[in-house]
Amino acid sequence: EYPTDLCTYLGQSKKEAGRHTLMGVGQYYRTAFNIKVYGAALYVSKRDVLAAQKFGEYAALTAEELRNRDDFYDLLMTMPSPGEDEATSVGALFDRTLFIKINMQLSTDAMRKSLEADWSLLTDEMKSLIIESSFEERMADDRMLQKISSKENSSNCSCGQNAPPDYKADPSCCARGTELVFTWRKNGDFEVRLDGRVMH
């Protein structure tokens, strides 16, 4: 369900920026029935990672070995602060993207609460920015209008976006298959996309 490369999705040229490569996929389960609430995929800039010397020590490790290396995940999660020496930082400078696809209809309130409660590695400031920019009220674009009117979206969910009255859109919920994509750039920029539309 997830593309192996996000370059086109992010509006980049492979020739100029290189591949934005899929690193791994996981599922977030909730309740005693193990319902798949959403899937999350991590992408990184292949060109940036190959240029970052810190990744070299992990190159020969198997996937099983990497699962037990907290330092590897610290490297993936941490971006050096502005002015910080990359050589002494836990992290490295490379573009990275978290791609979330919802597996079931969810209310925007439930999604906000999940981000606030379950994303423990994000700071409160980052959570606030993600939540506010993801569900900021605005007019739906063509892609969202198609989703609102699709047969699979029987509740006409519009994920916080407004639509003309004849669509009977419900901005308080997000439909199954909705994509929330967060990209952290090595230059310090942070991008939020909802179903491919840049929201922030």
Q: Rounded to whole angstroms, how far apart are CA atoms 7 and 80?
A: 23
Two structure tokens written together for 175? 């439909």
Question: Which residue, chain included where needed, has tokens 């994303």?
Answer: 119
Q: Is 77 exposed, middle or buried (0-12, 13-18, 19+ CB in 10 A)?
A: middle
| Whole-angstrom Cα Rg for the chain | 18
Q: What's the confidence (pLDDT) of residue 72?
A: 92
State which amino acid sits at residue 51: A
Instruction: Residue 105: name the closest of 28, 162, 37, 169 by CA.
Output: 37
Own/partner pairs for 166-174, CB < 8 Å, 24+ apart? 167/140, 169/140, 171/108, 171/137, 172/107, 172/108, 172/109, 173/105, 173/106, 173/107, 173/108, 174/102, 174/105, 174/106, 174/107, 174/108, 174/111
Which of 51-65, 100-114, 121-135, 181-195 bottoms out in mean pLDDT, i.e. has the lowest?
A: 121-135
DSSP state of 150: S
pLDDT of residue 125 exceeding 80: no
Question: What mean pLDDT is predicted for residues 148-158?
Answer: 94
Strands (E), the chain: 20-30, 35-45, 96-102, 106-107, 138-139, 161-162, 173-174, 179-184, 190-194, 197-198
Two structure tokens written together for 143? 């892609």
Instruction: Residue 130: name the closest of 188, 184, 185 by CA.
Output: 184
pLDDT of residue 115 exceeding 80: no
Reported as a pLDDT band with limits 50, 70 and 90, residue 121 is: low
Q: pLDDT tens, 30-82?
A: 766 677 788 899 999 999 999 998 999 898 999 899 989 999 988 988 888 87
Which of 53-62, 79-88, 95-104, 174-183 bottoms out in mean pLDDT, i.e. has the lowest?
A: 79-88
Q: Count H helices, E strands: the chain? A: 7, 10
Side-chain-side CA neighbours of residue 134 (13 Å): 24
